[in-house]
Amino acid sequence: MKTELKFALASATAAELLVIFTVDQSVDGTPADIPAVFPLTESQTVHDSIGEILTSGEFRSTANETLLIHQPKSFAAKRVLLVGIGKAADPASTTGPGVVALRKAAGTAARYAKSRGLRALTIALPQTLVEATDAEAARTIAEGVIAADFDPDTYRSDRKDQSLTSLTLLGSERIDQPGTLAGFEEGVILGESQNFARALINEPGNVLTPTVLGERAKAMCDEVGLTCEVYSTAKLEELKMGAFLGVTRGSAEPPALIVAHYEPANPTSEVVLGLVGKAITFDTGGISIKPADGMEKMKYDMAGGAAMLGAIRAIALLKPNVRVLAVICSAENMPSSRAYKPGDVLTAMSGKTIEVINTDAEGRLVLADGLHYAKQLGATHLIDAATLTGAVGVALGVHNAGAFASDEATWAKFEDGLKLSGERFWRLPLHSEYREQIKSHIADLMNTGGRYGGAITAAMFLKEFAGDTPWIHLDIAGLAWLDDAKGWISKGPSGVAVRSIVAWVQQYA
């Protein structure tokens, strides 16, 4: 998709489809003044043209509501699409909803256009409508449109390429042009990096083996100028990654340990951010095999690793002034005569011993060694992402991912980043009492902690390997795959966490 930011009057710009966002400022069902609803004060004729629709009550500007106007009066565009962004937070204020609503509305516009074969999108940057700077709004629109452009039907032989050919964002000439352009370009990079992760997650397990994931990671790193090494069994043995190796044993597919480094030109501190991802390319559960029903979805058990690859791709292009390294642990979890078994005791790279209770709790095993290795490579702060537990979905449903943090300052930076990414992560506790549940009689730890607080005991397990290094753990099992399409995004891989991780990294730059 070609992307461009122009500073020009929306009404005077020729376009196949011009998108205008409108906000519902009606109080007690009475529509507000047209200027308040549509403050893109270009000319009276524009107001007259759209005003009638807005005052008619037929189009109420509720969130993601759409209305298409052909050959609109006083516009150079062939079509105008009105997209509601919902109610202003406070009816008395002139500001409207925030970046989350705007991202969805932008995505709604893009998917509306795509589904009708309209592939060139022109969008008017809303001004006083949203609680965001022009730069944030520009960034958000780019993110929303690019995420909406993704479709998961890659293997359908009747697939029609409906992807957008261009996105043109129109800003008023009066606004901060360099700032808005920087925001827009950032949004493009973030949207494309999120889609990079989604394309990986979407791949079936027979196509995307750990080896292939390593190749794709390497190709991406070469493209954006990151150094990248991909290791396999021999290196895991050399590093004594006994936990990771245990998981790999059952599969004929060799594992991949992917290590990427981002080195800024002028690092401003000694901070090294370590990004660690779980990338199980298919999780059968191993000897503790999963039920057949729904097992096909376990191809997305590499979504944490994909998120880290998407994040470091964006970082390479955005060039923040902070060192970043990524460690992605990829394997296939299979049952076989060589597979690890319940009761086995594994010795992790850190020297800690682990009694395997359930071979389906494999993610924490590969991450145990990944976290330790990231520290050894010099990480001063750690963040991991993983589709780690079904329990996190039981606890939080599909509207919040789980987050854990061992350090308040590190968490505060992550939380600040969420304001921009708009993603929802809910912090869960790490009190020491939970540690009791993963005590083993034969080894230092067990790899499961029973039915209660399953997401927490999994996090407590990881904490043993993060040690004293400030650390954040993201359990994205409930959000990494969307079972239903929404108006603004397809079903399938969501790419959750990519943008929040980048936003966290940017806090250190």
**Which does residue 65 touch among ligand BES, Mn ion, Zn ion, none (CB within 5 to 8 A, set by kind)?**
none
- Contact with ligand BES (CB under 6 A) among 248, 387, 406, 410: 387
What would the two tokens of residue 431 be?
């009190």
Establish if 440 lies at the interface with ligand BES (CB under 6 A).
no
Which amino acid is residue 79, in one-letter code?
R
**Which does residue 448 touch among Mn ion, Zn ion, ligand BES, none (CB within 5 to 8 A, set by kind)?**
ligand BES
481 forms beta bridges with 493
Establish if 172 lies at the interface with ligand BES (CB under 6 A).
no
Q: Rank residues 136 and 360 by Cβ distance to ligand BES and give the closer one.
A: 360
Q: Rank residues 72 and 255 by Cβ distance to Mn ion and give the closer one.
A: 255
Which amino acid is residue 118, in one-letter code?
L
What would the two tokens of residue 342 be?
């319940």
- Contact with ligand BES (CB under 6 A) among 235, 390, 424, 430: 390
Query: Is the distance from CB of 313 to CB of 237 less than 8 angstroms?
Result: no
Shortest reach from residue 279's CB to Zn ion, in Å = 10
166 forms beta bridges with 2, 120
Cα of 113 vs its chain's centroid, Å: 23
Task: Check 299, 364, 375, 499 and give the catalytic one.
Answer: 364
DSSP category for residue 38 = -
Shortest reach from residue 35's CB to ligand BES, in Å = 49
Establish if 251 lies at the interface with ligand BES (CB under 6 A).
no
Task: Check 218, 235, 240, 290 and give the catalytic one.
Answer: 290
Q: Rank residues 283 and 369 by Cβ distance to Mn ion and give the closer one.
A: 283
Establish if 284 lies at the interface with ligand BES (CB under 6 A).
no
Q: Which stretch binds ligand BES (CB under 6 A): 72-80, 355-363, 400-408, 436-444?
A: 355-363
Q: Rank residues 24 and 362 by Cβ distance to Zn ion and give the closer one.
A: 362
Establish if 448 lies at the interface with ligand BES (CB under 6 A).
yes
Cα of 83 vs its chain's centroid, Å: 24
Shortest reach from residue 362's CB to ligand BES, in Å = 5
Helix, strand, or coil (residue 152): coil
Whether 364 is catalytic is yes
Q: Which stretch binds ligand BES (CB under 6 A): 68-76, 207-215, 360-368, 461-469?
A: 360-368
**Which does residue 469 touch among Zn ion, ligand BES, Mn ion, none (CB within 5 to 8 A, set by kind)?**
none
Establish if 400 lies at the interface with ligand BES (CB under 6 A).
no
Residue with tokens 């406070």: 90
Distances (CA, A) of 341 to 245, 251, 301, 356: 13, 13, 20, 7
Q: How far apart are CA 387 and CA 478, in angstroms?
A: 8
Shortest reach from residue 490's CB to ligand BES, in Å = 19
Q: Which of residues 344-383 bind Mn ion (CB under 5 A)?
A: 360, 362
Q: Rank residues 24 and 332 by Cβ distance to Mn ion and give the closer one.
A: 332
Establish if 384 lies at the interface with ligand BES (CB under 6 A).
no
Q: Which of residues 274-303 bind Mn ion (CB under 5 A)?
A: 283
- Contact with ligand BES (CB under 6 A) among 454, 470, 492, 493: 454
Distances (CA, A) of 349 to 221, 331, 372: 26, 17, 7
What would the two tokens of residue 236 be?
């895991």
Establish if 250 lies at the interface with ligand BES (CB under 6 A).
no
- Contact with ligand BES (CB under 6 A) among 209, 389, 410, 500: 389
Helix, strand, or coil (residue 115): helix
Taking the C-alpha atoms of 65, 66, 67 and 72 in order, what is their torsion angle to the nearest 10 degrees? Answer: 130
Shortest reach from residue 500's CB to Zn ion, in Å = 21
Query: Is the distance from CB of 277 to CB of 307 less than 8 angstroms?
Result: yes
Start-end of H helices in 351-497: 363-376, 391-396, 408-421, 454-466
- Contact with Zn ion (CB under 5 A) among 187, 363, 478, 492: 363
Q: Rank residues 143 and 360 by Cβ distance to ligand BES and give the closer one.
A: 360
Establish if 301 lies at the interface with Zn ion (CB under 5 A).
yes
- Counting beta carbons within 10 angstroms of the beta carbon of residue 473, is it exposed (0 to 12), middle (13 to 18) or buried (19 or more)? buried
| φ, ψ of residue 186 in degrees (nearest 5) | -65, -40
Establish if 301 lies at the interface with ligand BES (CB under 6 A).
yes
Whether 159 is catalytic is no
**Which residue from 177, 169, 173 is spatially nearest to 146, judged by alpha carbons?**
169
Long-range contacts of 86-93 (CB under 8 A, 24+ apart): 86/23, 86/24, 86/61, 86/62, 87/23, 87/24, 87/25, 87/62, 87/63, 88/23, 88/24, 88/25, 89/131, 91/25, 91/27
Q: How far apart are CA 10 and CA 330, in angstroms?
A: 48
Q: Which sequence positions are flagged as catalytic?
A: 290, 364
Q: Which residues bind ligand BES (CB under 6 A)?
A: 283, 301, 358, 360-363, 387, 389-391, 448, 454, 477
